[in-house]
Amino acid sequence: MKRSKAKKIRLKVNGEDYELEVGNQSDQVKPSHTLAHTLRETLGLTGTKVSCNEGACGACTVLMDNKAVLSCMLLTVECDGKSITTIEGLRDSETGRLDPLQEAFINHSAFQCGFCTPGIIMSAKALLQENPSPTEEEVKEGLSGNFCRCISHYHVIKAVMSASREARS
Amino acid sequence: MENTYRYIGKVTPRRDAKEIVTGGAKYLNDLKLPNMIYGKVLRSPHPHALIKKIDKSKAEKLDGVEAILTWEDVPDWRGGTPRATRILDQKVRYVGDAVALLAATSEEIAEEALHLIDVEYELLPPVFDMEEALKPDAPQLYDQFPGNVVTPGVPFFGPKSLQEVVMGDVEKGFAEADVITEGTFGYENMPNPIPPEPPGAIALWEEPNKVTLWVSNQASYMDKITLHHVMNRQVEVRTIGGPCGGSFGSKFMSWQVQCYATLLSRATGKPVKLVFTKEEHLAAFTLRPASRMTARVGMKKDGTVTAISGKWLIDTGYYSMTTQSQVAVGCGEVQIMVRCANWNLKPVIVCTNRNASGIVRGFGGQELKCTLIPLLSLAMEKLDIDPFQFLKKNYVKPGDGYFWRDGIWYTYRGVDYTEAMEKGAELFGWKEKWKGWLKPTAINGTKRRGVGVGVHGNADIGEDASEAYVRLHPDGTAMLYSCVTEHGTGQRTNFVKMVAEVLQIPMDRISVTPSDSLINPYEFGPAGSRGTYAIGGAIIAAAENAKKKLFEIIAPMLEADPSDLETADGFIFLKNCPEKKIPWKAMGVDRTCLGYGRFDPDYTLSNCMMTFVEVEVDTETGIVTLVRVVNATDVGKIIDPLGLEGQLNGCLGSAGIDSALFEEMVLDRSTGHMLNANLIDYKWRTFSQLPIIENVALETPFPSHRFHAVGVGEIATSPGPSAVLMAISNAIGTWLHEYPVTPERVLKTLGKTSTRAPKGGVV
């Protein structure tokens, strides 16, 4: 098949438009590629982490059309036309200012090893977009799909609650 | 107490915080080198077998495959203690043992090619149980270890390394006892520490004998040392550590994955990345050792333990790299927990056909205590002794002593932990909640509450050596040379804090070298809670040494003696006349000033963690809910309040408290397969299941270093599991002695499960 006729998919990632060819060449998106793979290996956005690679731990959480999704469980070819936000796209693209959630995570040291942090922040972002004033119980429920082994949960809850308060004040 | 420090004890953001929250932190799998290829491991489906033939011809023909290595293709590199386990062997010893290494231009091709390798095995009978493995006719895993008993002793700990606890006269001790209890107790559920980031390595081989390795480890310098020996002391190894996505001890030993990547790079001349899948991480990386003890204890009415004797079996899986070390430290830790004049505790480390055990927080002591405390509890019950009072009374006090890992007797010179324990008990409400042995704290319909307590501590807070340099620059900045990697404790920031305090310059004026063994001096790494005292000790000494040298340069310019000088914010001034000052720049703009610091091991201090738990047992469903946890300790001086709290909250995960409730690897003892090697079937605590945790951290100054602090992070997981067992037993009024306490076990103990054989299906 000629390269020019290769099927293309369009993704908007962190506000940038990408047109990716589908195929089996090394620079193309294979039908078997997960969104996590494409983000990390093709686009170089390694902030999204892969831990279990089977939808159990939430480390690879990104926003797709503003909903939290597990990027290891989606095939990139299924995401044609979607808008994706990764942890790299959370800060203000104009000013470079961190998202209030990111600030809150820094101020509360809401991480230890930090590997699960991008996924937790993206889940929390989706939660706050849907529910700007969650209760602690709602935060726990909203993050219950995110694995954290160092047990930073308690600091995370404080950080999310504080970011939520911040946004409302 | 008022904090007079400028930085120590203050809440400051982690230096890597912005990188972590923006996704900028580069963990191992985020790195890419030019021309990098990808490695995979073909693993054995059999628990015990000889490889008769390997046909790799089909796999080699697949486009993109660059190298396939089998036991016939690799040098005789061996790991283990003693070094008996070949990097690839003709014999496989567990389901998951490495059979072949393969490198290809992509992970997908490598994965596909693995399926094209044909292996012919001659099956051997496996053995999965410690006592079975010790029988005379048991299958033998190694020629070097007759009877499947691993050679005791740790050469690294010296010629007398601790192999048992034997002292006094146990017969005399039992004769003095008011009560003697005995039995067999286990902590055999092999919980898995599972840091979120899987083990991995990137290797770049350079002819003729050099390798550079990018590693994910809490102790990257030690990788260089370990590999030096594994590779027969013939390879020049450079290790570069970066952010480590959790370790909990486990990644301290990553020699296999590092060797796999090295061998594949050596075979191809290209950089090779090899990262385990989560299934490999769970089923082919290290677990907590399994522990089973048959023992006897004697106790007096006043809670004095008169004798402890028994046999402690430790299942290390198919080989041991550090299990002897864990036994040595565990044997030391048990003496810190319980004062007793007469001991005869004999450990035996056994090989079986499952994946290996290795380092996990608690390092031997958690395993030993989880089996010993239930036995001590039986004696306490008979004598109606409150376990809190018992543990408080028997914990090491200043002037007491213990044989530590090197077999040498040390006298404890730290603080008395009684006050911390009492503060913890008070906060928990122990007095009100403790109703006596096998008595619930409260009953509400079908729900029953119970409480338990445990304790742990170790003298490894001063283990091993550390070295550091601190370099001062004329512009008033400094640079710390340390091979410490950041694995989650925040210690890289804390060390900067210590340097900032010594030099009295803001933390952002201090940079830290990457954890590269080529540029940094010796560093054992943060393990056994040694970061604060041992590593901190070396770093403080380096900063003080740099300051001293700077004062020696500056003193003549101020017409003073170096001892008259002090420094702050990049100026040096006279202590008794601070107005007389000159900037660091006076050292000369063409100069740096380098200080060196070293910490030598000190086993005379121990940390301590007492953990109180309250559980609620649903007697209808058997479900146990952990309601509340109170941890109590004394850390001398808090360096980083939020980091400390995080470490103490860590008591739940990483094979800690939850190993008493639901964490376990399930081994199919007919096939040798791990049945739950994924994060769905391996149970872990979620955000919606959090108990209340409260932490008490007193600050009684320790005779450690200038900040009087000691570390405590590692031990947070250890006192909890036996406390949970105790609490559940009290809640339901019957002893439970098996970890984890699943609903099935609760219902069985309550006599609520049917004893009839199930009808139909496969039995």
Which pLDDT tens digit goes with each residue over B628-637? Answer: 999 999 999 9
How far CA B120 is from CA of B41, B54, B94, B126, in Å, comes to 17, 6, 16, 17
Residue of B nearest to A157 (CA): B687
B10, B14, B21: best mutation site toward chain A, by most A Cβ within 10 Å? B21
Report the half-sphere exposure of B499 (CA within 13 A, side-chain side). Answer: 35
pTM here is: 0.97
Residue of B nearest to A27 (CA): B106
Q: How many CB atoms lie within 10 A of CB B19?
A: 15
* Residue A56 with chain B: CB contacts under 8 Å: 678-680
If you write DSSP's letter for every residue of B412-471 in order, what string do you get? --S--THHHHHHHHHHHTHHHH--STT--SEEETTEEEEEEEEEE--SGGG-S-EEEEEE
CATH classification code of A100-168: 1.10.150.120
Whether A56 and chain B come into contact, CB under 8 Å, resolves to yes
CB contact under 8 A, B645 and A155: yes
Domain regions of chain A by residue span: 3-86, 100-168
**CA distance, residue A131 to nearest chain B CA (Å):** 17
* Residue A57 with chain B: CB contacts under 8 Å: 196, 679
Is this prediction's ipTM beyond 0.85? yes
Q: How many CB atoms lie within 10 A of CB B152?
A: 18
**CA distance, residue A114 to nearest chain B CA (Å):** 6
**CA distance, residue A113 to nearest chain B CA (Å):** 3
List domains and CATH numbers for chain B.
31-124+194-283 (3.90.1170.50), 290-406+415-461+604-749 (3.30.365.10), 464-599 (3.30.365.10)
B12, B14, B18, B22: best mutation site toward chain A, by most A Cβ within 10 Å? B22
B251: exposed, middle or buried (Cβ count in 10 Å: 0-12, 13-18, 19+)? buried
Which helix (H) or strand (E) segment holds residue B149: the answer is: none
Distance in angstroms (rounded) separating the CA atoms of residues B257 and B4: 47
How far CA B534 is from CA of B408, B476, B617, in Å, comes to 19, 27, 42
B12, B15, B20: best mutation site toward chain A, by most A Cβ within 10 Å? B20
Portion 483-502 of B in contact with A at CB < 8 A: 486-490
* Residue B647 with chain A: CB contacts under 8 Å: 112
Question: Could you report the average pLDDT of every consecutive run of 10 residues in chain B (763 residues)?
Answer: 91 97 98 98 98 98 98 98 97 98 97 98 98 98 97 96 98 98 97 97 98 96 97 98 97 97 98 98 97 98 98 98 98 98 98 97 97 98 98 98 98 98 98 98 98 98 98 98 97 98 98 98 97 98 98 97 98 97 97 98 98 98 98 98 98 95 97 98 97 98 98 97 98 97 96 69 49
Portion 34-53 of A in contact with B at CB < 8 A: 40, 45-53
**CA distance, residue A80 to nearest chain B CA (Å):** 23
Residue B677's SS3 state is coil
**CA distance, residue A16 to nearest chain B CA (Å):** 17
Q: Give me the pLDDT at residue A4, please.
A: 60
Whether B29 and chain A come into contact, CB under 8 Å, resolves to yes
Q: Which fold has domain A3-86?
A: Ubiquitin-like (UB roll) (3.10.20)
Q: Give me the pLDDT at residue B763, please.
A: 42
Q: Give me the pLDDT at residue B112, please.
A: 97
Whether B679 and chain A come into contact, CB under 8 Å, resolves to yes
Whether A87 and chain B come into contact, CB under 8 Å, resolves to yes
* Token pair 């500056």: residue: B554
Amino acid occupying residue B130: M
pLDDT tens digits along B374-413: 999 999 999 999 999 999 999 999 999 999 999 999 999 9
